[in-house]
Amino acid sequence: MKIRKISILSALSLGLVIAFTGCKKDDGPIRSSVIINDVPAISTAVNASGSQAIDLLNLAAFSGKFDVSLYFPGAAAPTQVDIVVRKNGSNANVKVYKAAVTSLPGSYTVTTTDLQTLFGTAVLLGDTYDFAPDIYVGTTKFQAFPVSGAGSGAGPVAMPGYSEFARFAAICAYDPTIYVGDFKVVSDGFGDFSPGETVTITKVDNTHFSFIDPYVTSPLPIIVTVNSLNNQLSITKQKIGNAFVWALNYTNPNMAMAASASSFVAPCSKTITMAITYTVDQGSFGAYTLVLKKP
């Protein structure tokens, strides 16, 4: 394991270059020749009352629900929206699910049959379907998933409670009996584990498992939480030992992992993928992906 740099604080010095050009009488903060469209921020989120993912082992049971609403209450509504769906993250593969919607907020339910009819192909393991609105302001259309450039929902992505699109992924349902015993390391971006090395997974309960990082002193079990509705994983920030054996001056190492599409179990292939953030008393190493597979 190579010694890694810790990110504590970085500062950027910005140079500002101002270029002056010839002025015109209509120059000002905004020139009179510039047309500005007031495009409302619209949030599209999965509704927890429906299916959170598409179970390949029970396709007929899928009933995904999502809500489309103005992010800022009281904001001017668009002229209309088309609810569209993108398959497998490809902006070249987008279909209209509901056209000419003029009333927001709205709630929608989608089934496996809907998806297969729209795209003309069967739902397969690993497929993803993203729902979002194309927004019309007057006669101008702002696409959720344009072939080039940022989509209409990309602006406020970092805002609290905002969701750019509602995603439903085709998965094999979580089976806790799979996630017990010896797994082999496929890759470890952090470099503690080597490919082919064995990591033992221990069942805690039906939605939690644990493992040990042997490259810390006095190792503690690392508890991983499984969202059995969508197979995403998370780790509440926790101490994993007293120090890294490869650098004893890095004390009280911790792991944390936010629930996201980057961290998940795939029961059909018996794999675990975890985008883990590593920290110590001295700072943060950042996030690195650990992939495990059951032989």
Each residue of 51-86: pLDDT tens digit? 999 998 889 999 999 999 999 988 889 999 999 999
- Looking at the domain assignment, is residue 163 inside a domain? yes
Phi, psi of 59 (to 5 degrees): -60, -35
Statement to judge: residues 246 and 148 lie in one domain = no
Among the candidates 171, 194, 223, a domain finishes at 171
* Per-residue pLDDT at 25: 42
48 and 139 in a single domain? The answer is yes
Q: In the listed set 108, 143, 171, which residue is the last one of a domain according to the structure?
A: 171
Q: How far apart are CA 159 and CA 64, in angstroms?
A: 24
Domain membership of residue 162 (yes or no) is yes
24 lies in some domain: no
Cα 44 to Cα 110: distance, rounded to the nearest angstrom? 14
Taking only the tens of pLDDT, the chain with its 295 residues reads 455 656 543 333 333 333 334 444 444 444 444 344 578 899 999 999 999 999 988 899 999 999 999 999 888 899 999 999 999 999 999 999 999 999 999 999 999 999 999 999 999 988 999 999 999 999 999 999 999 888 877 777 668 889 999 999 998 889 999 999 999 999 999 999 999 999 999 999 999 999 999 999 999 999 999 999 889 999 999 999 999 999 999 999 999 999 987 899 999 899 999 999 999 999 999 999 999 999 9
Closest CA to 78 of 55, 56, 97, 102: 102
Out of 151, 171, 191, a domain closes at: 171
Specify the CATH number for the domain of residue 155. Answer: 2.60.40
Distance of alpha carbon 161 from the chain centroid:
14
Same structural domain for residues 162 and 186?
no
pLDDT in the model for residue 4: 62
Task: Give the pTM.
Answer: 0.61
pLDDT at 260: 85
Same domain, 209 and 275: yes
pLDDT at res. 57? 81
Are 86 and 154 in a shared domain?
A: yes
Show the CA angle centred on residue 126, arms to residues 229 and 182, nearest 5°: 70
Domain region containing 205 = 181-293
The answer on 159 and 211 residing in a single domain is no
The string over 200-226, giving b where at least 16 C-beta atoms fall within 10 Å of a residue's C-beta and e elsewhere, is ebeeeeeeebebbbebbeebeebbbbb
Cα gap 188→126, rounded to integer Å: 22
Q: In the prediction, which pLDDT does 207 show?
A: 97
The number of domains in the chain is: 2
| pLDDT value at residue 48 | 94
Residue 16 inside a domain? The answer is no
Do 196 and 144 share a structural domain?
Answer: no
Whether residues 163 and 111 share a domain: the answer is yes
pLDDT at residue 227, as a whole number: 94
At 215-230, the pLDDT tens digits run 999 999 999 999 998 8
pLDDT at 13: 33
